[in-house]
Amino acid sequence: MEIRTPEIHVPESPGKGRAVSFARLAFGLALFASVVVLAALGPIVAPENPAAVVGSSFAPPAPGTTSSAAPSSTPTS
């Protein structure tokens, strides 16, 4: 015995698909534009050479400066 279920067709509103795709397009374009603007403003904000050598390799920190990577010598209690 075969049981058949009726097929139900629910029509979608005609503008719903276009609105969703337009929202996705607008979001994508805004994201792309923000990346392009950040890339264009990068050299203006930080004009230093990113490949410049700052100090010699394995040099100790300069006197009078603190390093956040070094463990603290003062006990905390």
- How would you write the pLDDT of the chain (77 residues) with one tens digit per residue? 688 888 887 766 665 667 678 889 999 999 999 999 999 999 899 888 888 887 788 888 778 777 665 555 555 55
* pLDDT for 27: 95
Please tell me the predicted confidence (pLDDT) of residue 74. 58
- Structural domain total, the chain: 1
Map residue 10 onto helix, strand or coil. coil
Does residue 58 lie within any of the structural domains? no
Planar angle of CA 47, 53, 58, nearest 5 degrees: 140
* Residue 28 structural domain: 18-44
The confidence score (pLDDT) of residue 67 equals 60
Give the per-residue pLDDT at 60.
81
Residue 5, domain member (yes or no): no
- Is 27 inside any structural domain? yes
**Is residue 53 in some structural domain?**
no
Residue 33 inside a domain? The answer is yes
